[in-house]
Amino acid sequence: MSKGRKNGLPKHVAIIMDGNGRWANRRAMPRFFGHRQGVKALKTAVRYASNQGIAVLTVYAFSTENWTRPQDEVKFLMDLMHKTFVQEIEELRREGVRIQLIGDRSTLSPDILKVWNQAEELTKDNTGLVLNVAFNYGGRQEITKAAQRLAEQVARGEITVEDITPEKIDTLLYTHKTPDPDLIIRTGGEMRLSNFLLWQAAYSEFYVTDVLWPDFGEGDFAQALQAYQARERRFGQVSAKEQS
Ligand code: IPE
Ligand code: IPE
Ligand code: MG
């Protein structure tokens, strides 16, 4: 990057949509209420990203660890995801959004898998925003799965140990068709990744806001993009300000 030049728009923005439960608690409402509001915030974010010309939006909707929540909350989240995609698919298709599920499909219910497959099939030729929904997603699970596949390939003699490179590993991740996230936004104030995009986040810029996910609107999204644009990304190099 040349001296003083700012970043353009991020190509890939990833969001850890956190704080639904606290949002509801503050209103003396059950956590479910916050999740429902969270869907509204998600719709706003998808529309905004699409209008801004962001190429890829990845949202963390359910982690491999979220199964440990009380059973009624897990069930609610599964049903909400199912219902939301049934309701929204047509509009997303019309808006040119291409939907992809990233996560472990093997433990999802047939009902959920059915809507996902339909959503992916129906939108596969769309050329607008790519929307990756991380659902039953865990970074460690994703990397473990890639390691298992590589071990199988070596055992079968299809590749040698030397063929295992970062680029090769990349091809075995759920996100292999999309560039790494330039910007990761986390709402709800926690400064951690919670098993999100562990490999892909190597050089992502982080932006954490105390705003709880159901309150996250276009203005908050715009602020995150502005903060990103003012950052200097160095990728291990010496600062551009010190060069020349
Ligand atoms: C994020 O909000 C949504 C999911 C993890 C599904 P939370 O449910 O984690 O809300 P808080 O963090 O308890 O407020
Ligand atoms: C991360 O939020 C997962 C999602 C937003 C889907 P959590 O609420 O599960 O994360 P922790 O438990 O606070 O780290
Ligand atoms: Mg949380």
Q: pLDDT band at 241, cuts 50/70/90?
A: confident
State the DSSP string of 219-232. HHHHHHHHHHHT--
69 to each of 37, 112, 149, how far by Cα in Å? Answer: 19, 19, 30
Each residue's pLDDT tens digit, 64-115: 999 999 999 999 999 999 999 999 999 999 999 999 999 999 999 999 999 9
DSSP state for residue 186 in the 8-state scheme:
E
Q: pLDDT band at 6, cuts 50/70/90?
A: confident
**What is the spatial order of strands in the sheet that 98-102 belongs to?**
98-102, 130-137, 56-63, 12-16, 183-186, 205-208
Among the listed residues 25, 51, 66, 182, the single catalytic one is 66
Each residue's pLDDT tens digit, 175-225: 998 999 999 999 999 999 999 999 999 999 999 999 999 999 999 999 999
- Closest CA to ligand 2's atom 1: 194
Q: pLDDT band at 2, cuts 50/70/90?
A: very low
Answer yes or no: 111 catalytic.
no
**Domains of the chain, earliest start first:** 12-53+60-227 (3.40.1180.10)
Position 243 scores a pLDDT of 74
Q: Give the number of residues written for the chain.
A: 244
Q: Name the residue of 35, 63, 195 to mutate for ligand 2: max ligand atoms within 8 A of Cβ.
A: 63
In whole angstroms, give the CA distance from residue 171 to residue 235.
21
Please name the helix (run of DSSP H) or strand (run of DSSP E) that holds residue 145, with its range, or none.
Answer: helix 139-155
> Of 132, 119, 130, which Cα lies nearest the Cα of 173?
132
Instruction: Judge residue 105's burial from the number of C-beta atoms within 10 Å of its C-beta, 0-12 exposed, 13-18 middle, 19 or more buried.
Output: middle
182 to each of 140, 155, 202, 206, 237, how far by Cα in Å? Answer: 20, 36, 10, 9, 17
Measured from the alpha carbon of residue 190, the closest ligand is 2
Average pLDDT over residues 128-157: 98
The larger pLDDT score, comparing residue 226 to residue 3, is at 226
Query: 3-state class of 136 per DSSP?
Result: strand
List, in sequence order, every residue forming a beta bridge with 216; answer none if it has no partner. Answer: none
Answer yes or no: 136 catalytic.
no
Instruction: Judge residue 94's burial from the number of C-beta atoms within 10 Å of its C-beta, 0-12 exposed, 13-18 middle, 19 or more buried.
Output: exposed
Hey, what amino acid is at 167? E
Residues above pLDDT 70, as percent of the chain: 98
Average pLDDT over residues 21-31: 98
The larger pLDDT score, comparing residue 31 to residue 242, is at 31
Q: Name the residue of 15, 17, 18, 62 to mutate for ligand 1: max ligand atoms within 8 A of Cβ.
A: 18
In whole angstroms, give the CA distance from residue 54 to residue 10.
7
In whole angstroms, give the CA distance from residue 112 to residue 102.
13
Instruction: Judge residue 170's burial from the number of C-beta atoms within 10 Å of its C-beta, 0-12 exposed, 13-18 middle, 19 or more buried.
Output: middle
